[in-house]
Structure 1
Amino acid sequence: MVLRGDEEGFAPPFDSSLYGASFSPSTPGTEYAIEYEDCDALAAFFTLEDGASEDVRGILPEGVEPFSEPMQGGVLVARYPFSTVGEYNEFIALVQVEDTNGDMAYYIPYIYVTNDSAMAAGRELAGAPKKIADIGFDREGSVYEATMERPKGKNLLSLTATPEQRATGSMVDALLPSPTPLLSVRHLPPIEGGDGLTQLVEWYADFEFKEDEEGRKMWNGPASVTYESHSAHDPVHKLQPDTVLMGAYAKFSMELGVTEVQKEWDL
């Protein structure tokens, strides 16, 4: 027991848990998963510019190497009208890497949400470096556009894509395997009288793409990523595209969960 009384949840404040209120504090993180329904997302996957590659190498954790040369990355903006941590929008920056086991995964250097429960669950469970931002998702004619502002009024990124044809074939499965392995660093600074903690955490996104008689509800087409302004506080512009490999719009359900700790550092 953490509290003297019986009323405890998964996350502090334990008597009014921000997420996982029906779980106890002793529940292993691998037993807690977040479920999503009726989602849609825009994404662009690309090779990185030479200069950007050096910047991105500098923010990878020890033991994590680029998966390919040239380095590849991506950005994804999603709308989650229902999840077990509430409704929210999300921006994710992705770097394709080789994890400590030699397998392909995506390291997440930057991730933003519009919901405090989603932010806390991501940071506390997986070390996902979530911050709160204003994230827009709109369509004008055939073009979808997603934007991310932080602070409000300072547009850091615009992602546009025009869905034109069904996304099929090996590239989709190679870029988004099922489940898709993700990596982030969970860090608790040391305090006098106690230990600190730094861990490389593997987690996953298990996508279930919606389907109809023509197949998976994912479409690809021309896409562009534009960084309207740079920010020292939120340097998402470090992932500067060279060649866009795939732009996509998709409809899906999803589960997020934690897999394992791949590496731990002594502080």
Structure 2
Amino acid sequence: MSFTKTTEQDSNYNGLENMTVSELLQNINAEDQTVPLAVKKVLHQIERLTQEVISKLKQGGRLFYMGAGTSGRLGVVDASECPPTFGVPHGMIIGLIAGGETAIRKAVEFAEDSTTQGWSDLQEHSITEKDIVIGIAASGTTPYVLHALKACNENNIPTGSITCNARSPIAQISKFPVEVVVGPEFVTGSSRMKAGTAQKLVLNMISTTTMIQLGKVKGNKMVDMQLSNDKLVDRGIRMIQSEIPVDSQEAAQLLKNHGSVRAAIKAYHGNK
């Protein structure tokens, strides 16, 4: 099957350096508005992948994200936000990036070109068939991701992917591929833009839906969130007050005593 990197095709705009600030912002915004529509077209793919993630995590497995550059950073961000947001263990969702921790802030030359490091990184976490790995790559060709997913397949580990080109090698080998085709970038080849936005949207959908299905949300509230700053403590107090008839002082004391919104509400009802 033919494979064309639409993410590398020439921008629909030219002479960017001659545009005013207003024109640049309007045109970037116009391109950005096409991304949610591209995501909508592949909701069925996202659903298949999310269902598999939920199944694995319900059975005690883990979710791994893998990527290089922007794609890797987006995976690391999503993984790191789940524990404070939903109160899950840090080892449940793990983000791996080509080049390691250094690459989160500074590009590591040629790290994404390794055909062995991806699988080595997974092995360091003692990955098993109980887990699932999602490769994130706008191009759909990143060797670090591609060869890691191949190794996973050989070891009966479920694989998913989030790519932005149709019929890419990574999507072809993934068991649960998601292909969000966003087309040429505003700045030719700058996949940190529309492709990055698409990947972020999909990651939000997968992790949030999974956490809700795992019982980490009640109503529409993050009842298991970690109380890591004053803003979140204040939010927790308001959440408690919305659920049980107590004033803010009583809610604050319950929260302090029990450590989470869920536990505070449960303790209150248990004492009634």
TM-score by length of 2: 0.22
Greater share of residues in helix: 2
TM-score by length of 1: 0.22
Greater share of residues in strand: 1
